[in-house]
């Protein structure tokens, strides 16, 4: 039955007129990969593509950020490695799955191993290493006191209250083991400008970008910045990856035997894009710019690209990319009580719908 459905999809896709694919596949396959096969999968595949093909734009070389935005991807030692493919078409009951895997008690893997792949580029020697950040929801993103105004609730809080957390299963014990180092990287889920704040998309994204300080500094100073269609973008992207891969060694791979072997536990699939892909034969420039719900057709920010001003040249190609989260990023405030959402802790306070969370 499942095979028949795939054949139907294959026939449909075969009739689509796609002139040339403008994306690169970054995938993972379970196994112990050695030799040339190491670079075919996981974070070493990403590293290889970035090193061979991706030139970090001038605007991103001195100051950039790589953001890992994750919510949930099923990963389990009790389930099939095909789980991501099977889940939409089956009635599998998951025993264990995680959005952020067990990455040990230090940031060695995230910063030195995975971070080295995220920082890779064809012109890496001409670039400063990017700042690494994670976007992950706090407990507060699901909870709201019932005496707040409906307007406030309708802007800031999850549509489903605590129940939304059921699909964001970060284990509390893993969090407590990793909190000491994760706190340096964690940023809150904010998606008001992107139009996704109350219903976070079930995706994992990884992106390298430089923010438009002219807009973001004004925001931090409390100035009113009107962002309308055709306004300057709040960020220039060096590359953007949408993938099934959560933030874990199981998904991205763990180097073993002094780097001679890459161990991967799950099947994953993602697509990577960068500006050079979208240059036309006669084009001189191509920019990937962050787009928001009120600025779907952004233009390059003058603070980063002063040589370009409206009207844009016909040889400048602008590719809007809608980051699912807002910029500037908002770091966790642990002193104020911010904590990562963890799904296996009971919550005694009611959400805005009046529901409680059992933690099971």
Across 207-226, average pLDDT: 65
Feature table: binding site for substrate? 204
Q: Is 202 a catalytic residue?
A: yes
Kindly give the residue spans of alpha helices, DSSP state H, lying in 15-80: 42-53, 58-61
pTM, two decimal places: 0.84
Feature table: binding site? 204
Q: Domain ranges for the chain, please list them.
A: 56-248+272-336
Q: What angle do CA 233, 159, 184 make, to 5 degrees?
A: 55
| Fold observed for domain 56-248+272-336 | Endonuclease; Chain A (3.30.870)
* Residues 6 or more apart whose Cβ sits within 8 Å of residue 343: 165, 166, 168, 169, 170, 171, 172, 359
The answer on pLDDT for 331 being more than 90 is yes
**pLDDT digits 0-9 by tens, 189-215:** 888 888 888 776 678 999 999 998 766
**pLDDT digits 0-9 by tens, 258-289:** 999 999 999 999 999 999 998 877 766 789 99
Question: Counting Cβ atoms within 10 Å, is residue 227 exposed (0-12), middle (13-18) or buried (19+)?
Answer: middle
């Amino acid at each position: 039955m499942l095979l028949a459905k795939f054949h139907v999809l294959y026939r449909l896709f075969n009739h689509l007129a796609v002139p040339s694919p403008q994306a690169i596949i970054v995938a993972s396959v379970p196994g112990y990969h050695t030799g040339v096969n190491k670079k075919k999968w996981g974070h070493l595949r990403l590293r290889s593509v970035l090193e061979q093909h991706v030139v970090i734009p001038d605007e991103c070389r001195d100051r950039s950020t790589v953001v890992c935005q994750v919510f949930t991807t099923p990963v389990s030692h009790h389930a099939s490695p095909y789980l991501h493919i099977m889940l939409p078409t089956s009635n599998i009951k998951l025993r264990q799955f995680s959005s952020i895997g067990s990455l040990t008690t230090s940031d060695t893997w995230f910063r030195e191993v995975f971070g080295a792949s995220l920082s890779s580029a064809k012109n890496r020697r001409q670039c400063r290493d990017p700042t690494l950040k994670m976007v992950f929801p706090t407990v507060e993103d699901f909870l709201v006191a019932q005496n707040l105004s409906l307007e406030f609730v309708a802007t800031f809080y999850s549509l489903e209250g605590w129940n939304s957390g059921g699909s964001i299963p970060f284990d509390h014990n893993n969090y407590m083991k990793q909190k000491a180092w994760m706190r340096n990287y964690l940023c809150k889920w904010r998606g008001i400008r992107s139009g996704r704040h109350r219903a976070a998309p079930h995706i994992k994204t990884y992106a390298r970008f430089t923010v438009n300080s002219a807009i973001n500094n004004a925001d931090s100073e409390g100035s009113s910045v009107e962002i309308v269609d055709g306004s300057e973008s709040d960020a220039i992207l060096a590359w953007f990856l949408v993938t099934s891969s959560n933030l874990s060694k199981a998904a991205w791979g763990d180097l073993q035997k002094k780097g001679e072997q890459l161990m991967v536990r799950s099947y994953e699939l993602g697509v990577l894009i960068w500006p050079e892909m979208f240059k036309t034969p006669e084009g001189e420039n191509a920019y990937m710019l962050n787009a928001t719900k009120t600025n779907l057709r952004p233009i390059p920010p003058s603070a980063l690209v002063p040589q370009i001003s409206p009207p844009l040249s016909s040889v400048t190609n602008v590719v809007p990319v809608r980051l699912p989260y807002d910029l500037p990023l908002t770091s966790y405030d642990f002193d104020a009580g911010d904590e990562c959402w963890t799904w296996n802790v009971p919550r005694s306070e009611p959400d805005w719908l009046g529901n409680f969370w059992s933690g099971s």
